[in-house]
Amino acid sequence: MRAEASRAASFELSEEQRAIGDVARESAQREIAPYIAEWDRSHVFPRALYGKLTAAGLMGMLVPEEYGGVAADYVAYALAIEELGKVDAGTAVTVSVHSMICHAIAKLGSDAQKDRWLERLATGDVIAGFGLTEPDAGSDAASIRGSARRDGDAYVLNGRKQWCTNGGFAGVVMAMFRTGGSGAKGISAFLVDSALSGVVVEKTTEKLGIHTSNTVDLAFDDVRVPASARLGAEGEGLTQALATLTAGRIGIAAQAIGILAACLDASVTFAKDRVAFGKPIGSFEAISFKIAQMATDLDAARLLTYRAAALAAAGRPYAVEASKAKLFASTKAREHASEAVQIHGGYGYTTEFPVERYYRDAKITEIYEGTSEIQQIVIARSLLGRL
């Protein structure tokens, strides 16, 4: 099933949006598809790939044109992440996290911060990383302990950040530290140059899936940054981090859609080709009904995600819609990745077919950028308030 044909039937896209999706699909097929099996097997972070994706404009999708970016809207961005995720979920999350930090700098950064980072991010010279989670502070982000002590015209950063996406290859990390007090109001955001003394990769995390995505624990030991490295006002860092994660949920929903779309394509192909009891297995309802449900849930996930993206593009509130999109898309990606393995039978459990990779990759979409439980809290509170 052609992805573009399916989209045309379900959502009206502009020519520009279609063009960005087409570029992402062509780039993924040319630059990723021939190598992904080996990259996944060897846990390779393909750093050179991101220079090639830059040439297609994919690293600067959310960067304003005056800084060398594409200034794409969120619908186009979601289409591009989906196409990357369909070939490799690890690449999709690398670009998604990079893009959400580009968006944060473009929206919240000072002119000096924009001048310093945005063009380099758009050209792929620098990859952006994100540092919020700590060993004792995950979903409860207001409990972070990493500190930023003011010292004249600088801050001195100390602490540990866990599960930093892109952290081992990032030139700049958007990281949150406590500047005073307790709770959410005492946290500030910083753009930390990873080349500074005291920024150390302590551990590279080995994961179930998304093997091409780099995930590390970062140590910040007496890292001195100028006060101008603070992103936004002091004490507003958690609000900024959560707003960044809200935007990122559109990207993760799109990543999950890419995985789900890949599962559908693989399942349709296998169901047509695999013969049992004298006919293709797709002729049996036990298989065909799985595929029908997979296709239906794919369309539903797309529509939820496109709605959230369209609201974001229009500058309207979209937090609840982004949570619904991420919750549904990630759940269905995980469920149908399992079904894709089941459709393939014993073959699905081998590395000979990619559905085992989709199965491993799908689970993380229910966890990062806010777990499914966090999304349910956001949705429930929009209806019930804080009871």
User: How high is the mean pLDDT of the chain?
Assistant: 94
User: Are 282 and 301 contained in the same domain?
Assistant: yes
pLDDT tens sequence across 218-251: 999 999 999 999 999 999 888 888 888 899 999 9
User: Are 213 and 343 contained in the same domain?
Assistant: no
User: Are 221 and 116 contained in the same domain?
Assistant: no
| pLDDT at 222 (0 to 100) | 98
Host domain of residue 135: 129-237
| pLDDT at 6 (0 to 100) | 44
**What is the mean pLDDT of the segment spanning 138-147?**
89
User: Are 72 and 140 contained in the same domain?
Assistant: no
Q: Is a pLDDT exceeding 50 seen at residue 3?
A: no
Please report which helix (H) or strand (E) contains residue 280, including its range. Answer: strand 279-280
Q: Is a pLDDT exceeding 60 seen at residue 9?
A: no
* DSSP per-residue letters across 325-371: HHHHHHHHHHHHHHHHHHHHGGGGGSTTSTHHHHHHHHGGGGTTTS-
User: Are 250 and 377 contained in the same domain?
Assistant: yes
User: Are 215 and 317 contained in the same domain?
Assistant: no
Rg over alpha carbons for the chain, rounded to the nearest Å, is 21
CA distance 223 to 198: 5
- For the chain, the 3-state helix, strand and coil shares in percent, each to the nearest 5, are 55, 15, 25
What is the CATH number for 142?
2.40.110.10
CA distance 131 to 163: 8
Return the active site residues. Answer: 369
Handedness of CA 206, 208, 211, 215 (dihedral sign): negative
User: Are 301 and 326 contained in the same domain?
Assistant: yes
User: Are 261 and 377 contained in the same domain?
Assistant: yes
E-strand ranges in 166-241 read 172-178, 187-193, 199-204, 215-226, 230-231
Q: Is a pLDDT exceeding 70 seen at residue 163?
A: yes
| pLDDT at 11 (0 to 100) | 64
CA distance 125 to 382: 40
> For 345, how many CA atoms within 13 A lie in the half-sphere containing its CB?
8
User: Are 376 and 246 contained in the same domain?
Assistant: yes
What residues are paired with 204 via a beta bridge? 216
User: Are 292 and 225 contained in the same domain?
Assistant: no
User: Are 377 and 250 contained in the same domain?
Assistant: yes
